[in-house]
Every structure is written in structure tokens, then in C-alpha cells.
């Protein structure tokens, strides 16, 4: 069956293809999108459609082009030249610190399912550094 045979089935097939290409299970994708696994299952079985926000997040998480995911037009993934140009531009404009550059490169190369835990760890470490959030362990209330 071609991806162009019926608009809703084509959309469902593109969602499934994007998820599988990224190496994500329905449960993993659902967790990253903040929806139930059944929602992803429904999208892939033509029993529902994701919101535009979920479609945008899905494209980002799976590394596919939003236009392809939403409409079927264009390439599924950006060309190597496009990726290199965008990475070079970000590096040239925003990332001056060598450690930050290493962290960003490692994050970009990590599989999609590993990115959320990496992000959460970095945020947790940052919040501890600046003292915004304190996680108390049992028995630590009286300690100063």
C-alpha cells in the first residue's frame, strides 16, 4: 500500500514510519509526547489525529520534516547538507564554550528515546547548582 493511497491512512502510516525509524515504541513516544499509549495507537490506526502541537513534537522527536509528516510533501528527513548547514549556523552563532559544544553534540547524536532523560538530568543538575529546587530526603528537615 502506498503512502499516498488515502489521506488519513497515509498520515497514519507516516506517523508509524517516523516512530519506527526513530526506534521508539508506541509507549516511549507517548511518554515523550505526554499522551497515553492508546493515543499513539489510535493515530497509527486511523482512529484519531494528533493535534498540530503533538504533530510538531512528533516531528522533532523522530527527526522527520514537519511538512512531510503533516502532508506527505517533501522529504521525510532533511538532507545532509541542510543538517550540516543548520548545525554549523547554530555552532557559529550560539555555542562558544567548548564544553557546551560537546554537550550539544552528544545530545544531538543520542537516540531520541535517550534525549528526554538527558535533558531532565541536565535540568536537575542546573536547578541544584542555582538552588531553585531542593529535593529533600527523609530525615533531612532538621539539617542546615
Considering only the C-alpha atoms of the chain, give the largest distance between any 2 of them, rounded to a whole number of Å. Answer: 66
* Cα–Cα distance for residue pair 59/30, rounded to 1 Å: 13
Burial of 130 (0-12, 13-18, 19+ CB in 10 A): exposed
Per-residue pLDDT at 23? 93
DSSP, collapsed to helix, strand or coil, labels residue 77 as coil
**Who contacts 27 (Cβ-Cβ below 8 Å, separation ≥6)?**
37
Predicted pLDDT of residue 97: 75
pLDDT of residue 136: 45
Report the pLDDT value the prediction gives residue 2, as an integer from 0 to 100.
Answer: 42
Contact 23, 113 (CB under 8 A): yes
Nearest to 61 by CA among 82, 84, 30, 85: 30
CA 81 from chain centre, in angstroms, equals 21
Rg of the chain, C-alpha, whole Å: 19
Q: Which domains are assigned to the chain?
A: 7-71 (1.10.260.40), 80-130 (no CATH)
Cα end-to-end span (Å), the chain: 66
DSSP track, 27-61:
HHHHHHHTS-HHHHHHHHTTS----HHHHHHHHHH
Q: List the chain pLDDT tens, one digit each, 144 residues.
A: 444 445 568 999 999 999 999 999 999 999 999 999 999 999 999 999 999 999 999 998 998 989 999 999 988 987 666 655 655 555 555 667 778 878 888 888 888 888 888 888 988 988 887 665 544 444 444 443
What are 87-113's pLDDT values in tens digits? 555 555 566 777 887 888 888 888 888
Q: Give the per-residue pLDDT at 101.
A: 78
State pTM to two decimals: 0.54
Amino acid at each position: 500500500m502506498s503512502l499516498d493511497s488515502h489521506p488519513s491512512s497515509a498520515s497514519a502510516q507516516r506517523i508509524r514510519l517516523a516512530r519506527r525509524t526513530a526506534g521508539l515504541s508506541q509507549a516511549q513516544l507517548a511518554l515523550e509526547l505526554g499522551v497515553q499509549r492508546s493515543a499513539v495507537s489510535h493515530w497509527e490506526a486511523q482512529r484519531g489525529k494528533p493535534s498540530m502541537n503533538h504533530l510538531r513534537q512528533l516531528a522533532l522527536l523522530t527527526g522527520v520534516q514537519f511538512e512531510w509528516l503533516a502532508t506527505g510533501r517533501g522529504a521525510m528527513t532533511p538532507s545532509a547538507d541542510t543538517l550540516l548547514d543548520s548545525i554549523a549556523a547554530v555552532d557559529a552563532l550560539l555555542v562558544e564554550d567548548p564544553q557546551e559544544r560537546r554537550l550539544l553534540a552528544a545530545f544531538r547524536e543520542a537516540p531520541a528515546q535517550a534525549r528526554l532523560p538527558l535533558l531532565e538530568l541536565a535540568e536537575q543538575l542546573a536547578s541544584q547548582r542555582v538552588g531553585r529546587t531542593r529535593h529533600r530526603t527523609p530525615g533531612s528537615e532538621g539539617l542546615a
